[in-house]
Amino acid sequence: MSIDEIIRSVAQLQLSSHQLSQMIAMSSNDLSKQAVRLQALTKGSRTGEAASRQVMAASKSLSDSTSSLIALNNAIDNFIQEVSQ
């Protein structure tokens, strides 16, 4: 496999991870909004409040995944720059 082929493959990975990070970020935002709504609707209900905390935890996990994908994209940028020199 040539350097150009490797760069093309890595660039495709970068595009896919960028698209995925955008979708995950939107999902995280939606879940966060829904958790706030759920919390307001279930205030005073032990199980309802527990459910809203779980939704918020899921939103945080998605946000963490987005951060990891952004770090991957930055690493790919650095790799492509380094190999292209």
Domain ranges within the chain, ordered by starting residue: 3-75
Which residues have C-beta within 8 Å of that of residue 80, sequence separation ≥ 6? Answer: 7, 10, 11, 14
- Burial (CB count within 10 angstroms: exposed 0-12, middle 13-18, buried 19+), residue 3: exposed
Q: For the whole model, what pTM was predicted? A: 0.85
pLDDT at 47: 96
- pLDDT tens-digit profile, the chain (85 residues): 899 999 999 999 999 999 999 999 999 999 999 999 999 999 999 999 999 999 999 999 999 999 999 999 999 999 999 998 8
